[in-house]
Chains A and B, each alone.
Chain A
Amino acid sequence: MSYTLEGKTGPWEIVVGLEVHAQVISNSKLFSGAATAFGAEPNSQVSFIDAGFPGMLPTINEVCIAQAVRTGLGLKAEINLWSRFDRKNYFYADLPQGYQISQFAHPIVGKGEIEVTLADGSTKMIGITRLHLEQDAGKSIHDQHPSKSFIDLNRSGVALMEIVSEPDMRSPEEAGAYLTKLRQILRYLGTCDGNMDEGSMRADVNVSVRKAGEEFRTRCEVKNVNSIRFVMQAVEAEALRQIEVWESGGTVDQETRLFDTARGITRSMRSKEDAHDYRYFPDPDLPPLVLEQSWVDAIKASLPELPDERRARYLALGLTPYDVHVLTLEKETAVFFETVAKGRDAKLAANWVTGDFFAALNRLKRDISDPPVTAEHLGELLDLVSDNTVSGSLAKQVFEAMIETGKAPGVIVEERGLKQVTDTGAIEKVIAEVMAANEGKVAEYRSGKDKLFGFFVGQTMKASGGKANPAMVNELLKKMLA
């Protein structure tokens, strides 16, 4: 059953396309040698090129080109060996040159696609129209002075990838799933940190509504939405607004809108008479960007495993779909898991990582990049379980001690004498003591009260300080109680 919104005139389908601006991970800017780090002092990461000074000229950063190609390959997209930069002309206080250098007619990356997974487990392909490289603008600050806006050009000239989707999404959920998946791919590739709080990923959301079977109606662009949740809210709010306009006999005008996160509505951003005419033309300061196929092939060969491939591999290992999902969501988690699982039982590793380890992360409010227990130590703990050095329940104790002390599990087991007892004689001796202390219960058991077996297991384990091997306890108890 596909998603619709109910209006007075019946159900409406919504149509969503996204333009995502993803900040390229690079040391220096797209066309200048100034740094890109977040949070620097105002105007401290600005070259005269970024500030649009007279006579300044752009020169392109090779890593930014490679990152765009890497991303294109990760999106299974066409790489254009010949592309070009254009100027998009408009005036704004934080646009120093009076134009943005972008790729209009000939982007570096063409058509691609992304497979998204929805809550009901179904999957859907979302088309990628193109990816192009462009410069970011500076930042205007409007709330520091009663009559002035302040301009910081640190971001000016930072490389962005604009990733444009086809209008293939039909619900807020699909839009959210697309953004989530896109961010996951970018992070896997190491081409964008996907940090929406710091603005390194922003979405322009194109929304229209239509009745079933219709062609597309007019769309509106909701600019610069900065979280996945807000994108989903903006889609719904804008769709509802448009439905109301159509149903009250009006027409939706193509325009740029802003999402007011406090009120949960979109509002018009610019008046119509100020409609833009960007006067795109090829930037005469920049010859065409020409790539060698062999260079593209080398990047392709060096591509890391992507989420879809990784997911398939984990499923083949016999992991549950849930574990696969949570383990592959973030690249760092998958890397952690693989270190734990290396040369070990994958299912056991998955249980530990998604179980006790995730619980500890939550409880301690730690992040996978700063884990309370290293992947190497957790792997060693799994080894101690597998070779029966510690029992499953003791392992949990050891795990807690690892968090507290940071020590290796072997050291903890040694220091605290937590080694599992697998010596038959020693266990038989403990059982004999338990039986001697509970003669009445032994008699009851022997007269047919089978349920008491669990009692003897518990008592034996307790008397061994939890260290007796449970399987051996079972086996020997059966023999001695018989």
Chain B
Amino acid sequence: MTRLTELTLAQARDALKARTLTARELTQAYLDGIAALNPRINAYITVTAEKALAQADASDARLAAGQGGPLEGIPLGIKDLFCTEGTRTTAASRILGDFTPPYESTVSGNLKRDGAIFLGKLNLDEFAMGSSNATSAFGPVENPWSRANDPAKRLVPGGSSGGSAAAVAARLALGATATDTGGSIRQPAAFCGVAGIKPTYGRCSRFGVVAFASSLDQAGPIARDVTDCALMLNSMAGFDPKDSTSVDVAVPDFAAAVARGVKGLRIGIPREYRMDGMPAEIEALWQQGIAWLKAEGASIVDISLPHTKYALPTYYIVAPAEASSNLARYDGVRFGKREPGADLIDLYEKTRAAGFGAEVRRRIMIGTYVLSAGYYDAYYLKAQQVRALIKRDFDLAWEKCDAILTPATPSAAFGLDEKHDDPVAMYLNDVFTVTANLAGIPGMAVPAGLDANGLPLALQVLGKPFDEETVFAVSGAVERAAGFTAKPQVMA
């Protein structure tokens, strides 16, 4: 028999239902893996072993009685940006201290409702601000993959959902929740050789998810493969009256869409995603993806998304602006860490200086600046106008195509010690992913190949708003054609 942690979510679910596997065995296998590898990988900030085993026993009881939800007994990791009732939630920041939410996020609550078991809370960039997981107050996460020519070099897992991607890749969770504000699901999934989807904005509730940039934040799954992502998203998604931006549309059977195939679909290839200085390997992978889909019966159409080059600067105005306001509540008064001060203002300033890391402080200040008197029109308003143009680019593209294929990232995972001096260079990691957040459309990263050093590379599939089914269909086709079976060097 294969090791328990090698089962995919779909396989584990079937084995649990068939009672050839118990939730306790499976959960214990993951907890053993975490105990062995987390000290190195640092994917988990908090491990809730006892609660997980208690949940597993309850799942086994339900399964034995022929009951149980669609994810009954499936051990997952939860990005530590989702509030979990009774379990410390940190957003990977010092400022939240030992904050223990007295409430559950809708998304994690949906997973619980469907029988999932929570192994613990996963590391991330502080307040989800970063592309390397290096900004976490709980230390960086190590990518379980390493370069063939430099195996000792520690690589980043990407970010902000670096803990989620690393945990899934290293078999420290069967799947993980994640969030994506500017690529934070797709870029780490790509860096870690796993699958991840950012659904349409409004598809998953934001209630109980620590906010970074409200108009861009969207929860989604990271899992071993496309089908596992679909199964998780089926549970996570759904209308929530507690989130005014949640959209009241039915949740289709995403898993069923994975095998649909791409025959007759029109796949758009945006010419503007062919960036100057893009590595040849990335270009080659993209061409390979195009060839795969063509072979599967899709037609390939050339499309133009002319405002693509403005997406990153737009994002780095909109996201910090919203963040500067969203993070004003961390003031040391009602929860979290407090630094003493001579007076209230001093208390605020010291608490926020000590509580937030450098990247978060930088973004709050940039956001404060672009909203401040005299600069609002030149920066914030302008960015929201460009954002409207970016969205319009996609609206026009959908007249010509049903889905869009692009590379997921401009490179494979980089070293923990690289790219930290220049914020703008770091921001460029998200050049292919950020447009989907600005336009609110779904996007999925699918592992599709390895670079010359044996590191995973991914393709990205973008779809129309609320047409995740087509995204899953195209991603499923890419996955089948790619036959990606490589495994990371570090694995439980």
- Interface presence of B195 (CB below 8 A): no
In the bound complex, residues from chain A placing their C-beta under 8 Å from that of B372 are: 277, 279
Question: A15: shortest Cβ distance to chain B, in Å?
Answer: 25
Are B245 and A53 closer than 8 Å at their CB atoms?
no
Q: Which of A88-96, A219-227, A251-259 contacts B (4 or more CB under 8 A)?
A: A88-96
Chain A positions within 8 Å of B105 at CB level: 55
Judge whether A279 and B329 touch: CB under 8 Å. no
What's the Cα separation between A28 and B321 when bound, in Å? 30
A304 contact set on B, CB distance < 8 A: none
B280 interfacial contact with A, CB 8 Å: no
How far, in angstroms, from A48 to B103 measured CA to CA in the complex?
9
Q: Which among A17-25, A57-65, A293-301, A405-413 touches the partner chain?
A: A57-65
Contact residues in B for A98 (Cβ distance below 8 Å): 325, 327-329, 331
Q: Mark A262-278, 1 if CB is under 8 A from B, else 0.
A: 00000000000000010
Q: Tell me the smallest distance from the CB of B92 to a CB of chain A, in Å.
A: 13
Residues of A within 8 A of B325 (CB): 87, 89, 98-99, 279, 281
**In whole angstroms, what is the CA distance A57 to B208 when docked?**
8
Contacts A48-B102, A93-B344, A279-B371: A285 and B331 contacting too (C-beta < 8 A)? no
- Nearest-Cβ distance from residue B159 to partner chain A, whole angstroms: 19
The 8 Å CB contact of B89, one of A48, A54, A91, A277, is: A54
Alpha-carbon gap, A286 to B215, bound state (A): 10
CB within 8 Å of B: which A19-73 residues: 48, 51-60
Question: B380: which of A56, A91, A281 is its contact (CB, 8 Å)?
Answer: A281
Residue among A55, A59, A87, A151 with most chain B CB within 10 A: A55
Contact A57 B371 (CB under 8 A): no
Residues of B within 8 A of A281 (CB): 321, 325, 371, 376, 380
Q: How many residues of B contact A (CB 8 A)?
A: 44
In the bound complex, what is the Cα–Cα distance between A178 and B26 (angstroms)? 73
Tell me which residues across on chain B come within 8 A of A287, comparing CB atoms. Answer: 244-245
Pair A97/B328 contact, Cβ less than 8 Å: yes
Chain A nearest CB: distance from B126 CB in Å? 13
B243 within 8 A of A: yes
Q: Judge whether A59 and B328 touch: CB under 8 Å.
A: no
Q: Is the CB of A96 within 8 A of B214?
A: no
CB distance from A375 to the nearest CB of B (A): 44
Taking beta carbons and an 8 Å cutoff, which residues of A are in contact with B?
Answer: 48, 51-60, 87, 89, 91, 93, 96-99, 149, 151, 277, 279-281, 284-287
25 A-B residue pairs with CB within 8 Å: A52-B334, A53-B103, A53-B329, A53-B335, A54-B99, A54-B210, A54-B211, A55-B210, A56-B207, A56-B208, A57-B207, A57-B244, A59-B242, A87-B325, A91-B345, A96-B333, A97-B328, A98-B325, A98-B327, A98-B331, A149-B344, A279-B325, A279-B372, A280-B376, A287-B244
Write the residues of chain B forming the contact surface with A, with a CB cutoff of 8 angstroms: 82-83, 89, 91, 96, 99, 101-103, 105, 206-211, 213-215, 241-245, 321-322, 324-325, 327-329, 331, 333-335, 344-345, 348, 368, 371-373, 376, 380
Q: Which 7 A-B pairs have the closest CB atoms?
A: A98-B328, A284-B214, A279-B371, A284-B215, A52-B329, A55-B208, A54-B210
